[in-house]
A and B are shown apart, each in its own frame.
Chain A
Amino acid sequence: MADTTVSPTPSRRSFFGRFNLEVRGHMPVGRQVLVVGAGILVGLAISALLLIASGVKPSGLLNEFVIAIFKSQRNIAAVLSYAAPLTIVGLSAALAFKARFWNIGIEGQVIFGAIGATLVANHDIGPPALRLATMALAAILAGMLWIAFPLFLKLRLQVNEIISTLLMNYIAFNFLLHLLYGPWKDPQSAFPNSKIFEDFERLMPIGWQNLNLSVPIAILLVLLVAWLLGMSRYGFLLNFVYANVRAARALGVRIVALTLLFALASGALSGFGGFIISTGIESRLTQSFFIGYGFSGILIAFLARNNPFAVAFFALLIALLMVAGQSLQVFYQIPFAMVQLIQAIIVICVAASEFFIHYRLRLVG
């Protein structure tokens, strides 16, 4: 432990100069939330300055992000319809991260999920009444398929899953382009899109604005994941394993099987997210439907610290950012990349704020 009675010699001076770094004990959860909240606020403030610097008037800022969105039901519906798939990919990332499997391949799994769903639609597999369910099942299987290979490499050969899942994204993307420029191209479209889905191959509307089933499904999934992590024996075992790996191993907990379960569930959720995006938003396969979801899913899970309810909260926040970003694009010609940049800035600020949860700086002497 710290030996604070010995003053450091000049060569041992800390990186912070006259300050010494101390490890904190546990910080109460309430204060942790405050620290993270402060991090988010700093991130939002930096983002606001950035937007003002790129030509948005300060009054416009409030208008685009708050007033314009909550004044119109249509905009609220737009936020909710983006939040649904974002919640699902966020849950996917949270499940994988909980099991210490860095699934950076969410984007590839989303692509493959949508490919699986479109495969069913293109070949008219199953009766129309069960078509949507068949498409969802195909998407789930395709997502699991796409995570299975890196998962196998990780569990059997200790191949780093960060890089392998990421490489799988590029492979999936090229495969998507192959389909869209080749066998699946809709001859009636000038763009590389697949045939548009039939009415019974799209998520049913729920009768308010243009919202469809995606929102209630996302809510159900939040509850399901909350149950899995918080109440089921698998979630309990997982928490136990990472509280003390050696004790868990000694007691015969099958760690590999647990990782397998959670990582496959993560792939399944991402594939299902691809189903939701293609049947609920795009109604067809395009070459860009997945953009941003992999990236946002990871960031949402990080911000939410893998808590499913917090995932839903941050998915709403990012969805709001996306809808506001679209109107900034129209009214101020600010590229959509700004939305991605703002997400990264918020995460950097939150990550930096965690320093104050774990450590304390103390003036030396």
Chain B
Amino acid sequence: MDFLVNWLANVPSFAVPFALAALGLIICEKSGVLNLGAEGYMLVGAMAGAGAMLSLGQHPLLALAIAALAAGVLSLLFALLVIALRVNQVISGLVIVFFAHGLTALIATMRGWTNRAFAGLGDVDLGPLSSLPAVGRILFQQDLIVYLTIVIFALAMHVLYATHTGIRLRAVGENPEAADAAGISVGWYRFGAVVVGSMLIGLAGGYLTVAVSKIWVDGMSGGRGWIAIALVIFARWQPWPALAGAVLFGCIEALIPRMAAIGLQLPQYFVLMLPYIVTLGVMVWTSLSAGRRSGQPGALGQPFVREERR
């Protein structure tokens, strides 16, 4: 019982980075832009969040805002490449990851932010609710971002599916020629989606350092950005299934330290492979069950040039 409560109570904070990153990717990819740079935005967000905590003092929410902003700035470069210059989106996404790996390691080392612990984001005090047995630990002893994530998802659902902006955004991703003919600016919608989506991914990265690890180590996002990309395919580009997938990965990641805590003797490095192996499994499962309805936006990955026939 104790094991179960300890485990489940840790799930939300492990699920949030996956959830926010997957949502950011969905927003971006709904507009037709394939964003393989997720790992890079997470790294930049994580490093910026840690740096803000270490140099500006104990202001976790400010640090998270800076994390999102930093990823947003990096996404301007990506947007320049894929939207304005029509560079291959696979290459652009990969090079953003490489760029971010180098940039974050460089800045953190030069500033001396590497391996320095800080206090980080604390839990919200919900009074009597928090002291409920079991349920209190699991649901009401979490930090602000955990609750905010649900709000962000609801908001994204509303914007994507119930506003004109959302409909236009999806039209741009499904059929840019038709959207263009209807007078929608394909370029600017994609630009907005890339920046907003990347900021969410940056927030996910910032959450990793500011709320979870409370320390920066080079390359610390550890493939979570790539797992988030797989999650989006698994969720068929729909926000709520992506959230469910994020919770699944949160469960797995939260299980790893728990197994060690109860003294289970498992080969450590095989346990650490678990998230990646599960991701491969999820991808196989998605492909076996997808059929023709993969949900992938029609123009995903294709640059839009008005005068070019596809």
Judge whether A66 is part of the interface by a CB distance below 8 angstroms: no
Chain A residues near B81 (CB-CB < 8 A): 348, 351-352
Give Cα distance in the complex from A166 to B226, angstroms: 8
Judge whether A345 is part of the interface by a CB distance below 8 angstroms: yes
Contact B276 A343 (CB under 8 A): no
Interface of B, helix, strand, loop or mixed by DSSP: helix
Give Cα distance in the complex from A12 to B268, angstroms: 58
Within 8 A of A (CB), among B295-310: 305-308
Interface string of B223-234 (1 = CB under 8 A from A): 100110110010
Judge whether A54 is part of the interface by a CB distance below 8 angstroms: yes
Judge whether B272 is part of the interface by a CB distance below 8 angstroms: yes
Closest A residue by C-beta to B39: A166
Give Cα distance in the complex from A11 to B280, angstroms: 44
Give Cα distance in the complex from A344 to B101, angstroms: 10
Chain B residues near A160 (CB-CB < 8 A): 230, 233, 283
Give Cα distance in the complex from A299 to B91, angstroms: 9
CB distance from A8 to the nearest CB of B (A): 9
Give Cα distance in the complex from A298 to B94, angstroms: 9
Chain B residues near A242 (CB-CB < 8 A): none
Within 8 A of B (CB), among A1-48: 1-2, 9, 11-16, 21-23
Stretch at the interface among A176-184, A264-272, A309-317: A176-184
User: With A337-B109, A359-B305 in contact, do A157 and B84 touch (Cβ < 8 Å)?
Assistant: no
Contact of A344 among B102, B273, B277, B279 (CB under 8 A): B102
Chain B residues near A157 (CB-CB < 8 A): 284, 287-288
Judge whether A82 is part of the interface by a CB distance below 8 angstroms: no
Chain A residues near B280 (CB-CB < 8 A): 153, 164, 167-168
User: With A167-B276, A167-B279 in contact, do A22 and B267 touch (Cβ < 8 Å)?
Assistant: no
Judge whether B90 is part of the interface by a CB distance below 8 angstroms: yes
Interface of A, helix, strand, loop or mixed by DSSP: helix
Contact B86 A355 (CB under 8 A): yes
Contact of B95 among A166, A177, A182, A347 (CB under 8 A): A347
Given contacts A299-B98, A355-B87, 13 further A-B contacts (CB under 8 A): A12-B183, A14-B187, A15-B186, A102-B90, A157-B284, A170-B223, A174-B269, A335-B106, A337-B106, A342-B102, A343-B98, A347-B91, A355-B86
**Chain B residues in contact with chain A, CB under 8 A?**
36, 77, 80-81, 83-88, 90-92, 94-95, 98-99, 101-106, 109-110, 180, 183, 185-188, 218, 222-223, 226-227, 229-230, 233, 267-270, 272-273, 276-277, 279-280, 283-284, 287-288, 305-308
**Chain A residues in contact with chain B, CB under 8 A?**
1-2, 9, 11-16, 21-23, 54, 102, 104, 153, 157-160, 162-164, 166-168, 170-171, 174-175, 177-178, 181-182, 295, 298-299, 302, 334-335, 337-345, 347-348, 351-352, 354-355, 358-359
